[in-house]
Amino acid sequence: MNIYESQNKIIAENSENFNLRDIFECGQCFRFNKSGEFNKSGETGESYEGAAYGKFLRVYQKDNKIYFETTFEDFNNIWRNFFDLDTDYKKIFESLRRDETLKKASDFCPGIRILKQEPFECLISFIISQNNNIPRIKKIIERLCANFGAKIDDANNKYAFPRASELAGLSSDDLEIIKAGFRSEYILEAAKRINSGEINLDLIYNLSLSEGTEYLKKLKGVGDKISACVLLFAYNKLDSFPVDVWIKKILEKYYAGGYDFGEYAGVANSYLFYYERSNN
């Protein structure tokens, strides 16, 4: 992938297996939304905008070029890693296509990449996702950020995801404004234990998949599914395989005889989830 700066944008070209719609609509991230169609200098396409790691980003794609509206410093310090641009996703894509169902699924969404999200944000986001649908998850998260996060972009009215220290001192009454229901209790407990140092999310980078699962499950409200999502979408443990209602149905439908997706099970999971949800 060739990356360079031009007209106050960072451009990445020759971007195989990268598609903004696949990345942001596959259920792994809740703070980026399609911001519309664009038409600049005769080029048309889709643009997305959102926030991560305390920074706002607008990004759009045309053919094999991705345009990041950011500084070169922020691109290298945040977005290059966030989008996992240095990983060979063509290799991952090809390795999973021996399976006929995965071939169909990956053909539908070949541009999925597993984002490397900030662990606390990812954890709280998937706590909020329990027994919830994506539009409502996004609304709860935006209310959480608007009420308790720092403002990071005046022009676009964007807020950072609040840190554990900003949530730890709150009460259940304080969180009523985000309308998270029973999940508020889990959010507050996680924030307090992480802020106090009792739970250290940085340790998980060096833990195995099973060790990371058990460590995260020390938190109230965090079970196998949430821990698997956090390990995949924050810690880039690509062998993590979250199982929710959709995935259960997929396994029953296509893999009743068993399955083994190997070291890229999490990528397979995202292909299958997005394909099945979009076509049913």
Asked if the structure places residue 188 within a domain, the reply is: yes
Asked if the structure places residue 152 within a domain, the reply is: yes
Task: Compare 198 and 154 and report the one with higher pLDDT.
Answer: 198
Residue from 72, 81, 64, 77 nearest 5 by CA:
72
Residue 164 and residue 139 share a domain: yes
The CATH number of the domain holding residue 63 is 3.30.310.260
Residue 70 and residue 7 share a domain: yes
Residue 214 and residue 170 share a domain: yes
Show the domain range for 48: 2-86
Q: Give per-residue pLDDT as tens, 77-102.
A: 999 999 999 999 999 999 999 999 99
Q: Give per-residue pLDDT as tens, 41-76.
A: 545 568 999 999 999 999 999 878 999 999 999 999
Please tell me the total count of domains within the chain: 3
Asked if the structure places residue 178 within a domain, the reply is: yes
User: What mean pLDDT do residues 164-171 have?
Assistant: 97
The CA distance from 233 to 125, in Å, is 11
Instruction: Dihedral sign for Cα 230, 233, 236, 241, please.
Output: positive
105: CB partners within 8 A, 6+ apart: 271, 272, 274, 275, 276
Distance of alpha carbon 269 from the chain centroid = 13
pTM of the prediction? 0.94
Q: Give per-residue pLDDT as tens, 194-217.
A: 999 999 999 999 999 999 999 999
